[in-house]
C-alpha cells in the first residue's frame, strides 16, 4: 500500500491496521458505430473496503489520523467520435460520485478527496501526408476541499474546519495545441520535428490547497498548474 503523504512510501498489508484491499465492481457498456460515427456509454459502480486514511492524501483535520474505511463510486462515461477524411474529432463527458465511509471519523458518507464530479474533453486532429496537427480541450469541476469555519477559524489552538470536502476549488480549464512533421533524411535516416503549447490560454488552474496555523491566524497555501508552456522535439531515426 502506498501512502499519499509528502514522502511517499510503501508498507505491506498485515490484514490488521493495514488490511488487504477488497473491491466489488459492476459495469455495463453500449456502443454504436455508423458511417464514421462512434458513440459509447459506459456505466459503473465500485465498492472498495480496507482503505486507510493515510493513503488518501488528507490535508485537513484528518491529516495525521490513522483509521480504516471504504469508498464507493458510481458514474458513467460518454464518448462521441467522428472520422471524416483527414479529420478526427471526439468529445467525452464523465460523471462520478465518489464517497468515503470512515466510521471512526464521521457517522455518514462524505465526498472523496478525488471526487471530481464533471469532466469534459474535446479533441481534434488533422493529418495530411507527413504533417499532423492536433488540439485538445480539458475542463473539469474543481477538486473537493475543506474550508476553515469563517469567523471562528481557530479553536483550542487548532484549525476549526467546516464539513469535510464540502467546498470545491475553482473549475479547471486547459487548451493545448501541437504539430508534428515527419520527413526523410539521407539513406535510411528519418526525422521528426514537433512543437506543442500546453495551456495556450494561460489559465492559472488551482490543483490543490491546504491551511496551516501561522501565529494567531490561518494561512492558505494554493498549488497551481503550469501556465503557457511550449515544448519542442527533434528525433532522428537511423
SS3 117: coil
Name the residue range of residue 23's domain: 1-74+98-115
Tell me, yes or no, whether 147 and 236 share the same domain: yes
The number of distinct structural domains making up the chain is 2
80 falls within a domain: no
Please tell me whether residues 124 and 109 are part of one structural domain: no
Q: So what's the pLDDT on residue 3? A: 43
Helix, strand and coil content of the chain, in percent to the nearest 5, comes to: 0, 60, 40
Do residues 111 and 123 share a domain? no
Q: Are residues 69 and 134 in the same domain?
A: no
- Assess whether 124 and 235 both reside in one domain: yes
Per the domain annotation, does 110 fall within a domain? Answer: yes
Q: Both 182 and 134 in a single domain?
A: yes
Same domain as 123, residue 35: no
At 45, list the grid cell: 459502480
In this structure, the answer to whether residues 163 and 236 fall within a common structural domain is yes
pLDDT at 223: 96
Please state the pTM of the whole predicted model.
0.87
89 within domain boundaries: no
- Sequence-distant (6+) residues with CB within 8 A of 46 are 23, 24, 25, 72, 73, 74
Q: Domain for residue 87, yes or no?
A: no
| Domain-embedded: residue 7 | yes
In a domain, 93, yes or no: no
**Residues contacting 214, CB < 8 A, separation 6+:** none
- Per-residue tens of pLDDT for the chain, all 238 residues: 444 444 556 667 776 677 888 999 999 999 999 998 999 999 999 999 999 998 999 999 999 999 999 999 999 999 999 998 999 999 999 999 999 999 999 999 999 999 999 999 999 999 998 999 999 999 999 999 999 999 999 999 999 999 999 999 999 999 999 999 999 888 788 999 999 999 999 999 999 999 999 888 999 999 999 999 999 999 998 8
With respect to residue 21, please indicate whether it lies within any of the assigned structural domains.
yes
Q: How far apart are the two ends of the chain, measured CA to CA in Å? A: 43
For residue 140, give Cα distances in angstroms to 35, 47, 122, 214.
30, 23, 12, 32
- 16 Rama class: left (phi>0) / alpha (psi -120 to 50) / beta: alpha
Domain boundary among the residues 83, 115, 147 is at: 115
Output the pLDDT for position 43. 98
Query: 107 and 150 share a domain?
Result: no
Q: Are residues 37 and 149 in the same domain?
A: no
Q: Does one domain contain both 6 and 104?
A: yes
Amino acid at each position: 500500500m502506498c501512502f499519499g503523504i509528502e514522502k511517499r512510501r510503501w508498507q505491506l498489508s498485515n490484514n490488521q491496521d493495514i488490511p488487504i484491499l477488497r473491491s466489488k465492481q459492476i459495469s455495463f457498456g453500449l456502443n454504436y458505430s455508423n458511417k464514421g460515427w462512434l458513440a459509447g456509454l459506459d456505466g459503473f459502480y465500485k465498492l472498495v473496503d480496507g482503505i486507510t486514511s493515510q493513503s488518501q492524501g488528507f490535508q485537513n483535520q484528518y491529516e495525521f489520523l490513522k483509521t480504516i474505511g471504504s469508498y464507493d463510486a458510481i458514474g458513467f462515461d460518454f464518448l462521441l467520435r467522428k472520422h471524416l477524411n483527414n479529420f478526427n474529432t471526439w468529445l467525452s463527458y464523465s460523471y462520478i460520485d465518489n464517497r468515503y465511509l470512515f466510521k471512526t471519523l464521521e457517522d455518514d458518507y462524505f465526498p472523496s478527496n478525488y471526487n471530481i464530479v464533471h469532466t469534459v474533453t474535446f479533441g481534434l486532429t488533422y493529418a495530411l501526408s507527413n504533417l499532423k496537427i492536433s488540439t485538445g480541450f480539458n475542463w473539469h469541476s474543481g477538486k473537493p476541499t475543506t474550508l476553515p469555519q469563517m469567523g471562528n477559524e481557530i479553536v483550542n489552538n487548532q484549525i476549526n474546519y467546516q464539513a469535510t470536502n464540502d467546498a470545491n476549488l475553482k473549475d479547471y480549464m486547459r487548451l493545448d495545441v501541437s504539430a508534428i512533421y515527419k520527413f526523410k533524411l539521407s539513406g535510411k535516416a528519418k526525422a521528426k520535428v514537433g512543437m506543442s503549447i500546453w495551456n495556450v490560454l494561460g489559465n492559472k488552474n488551482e490543483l490543490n490547497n491546504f491551511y496551516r496555523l501561522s501565529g494567531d491566524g490561518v494561512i492558505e497555501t494554493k498549488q497551481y498548474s503550469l501556465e503557457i508552456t511550449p515544448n519542442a522535439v527533434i528525433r532522428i531515426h537511423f
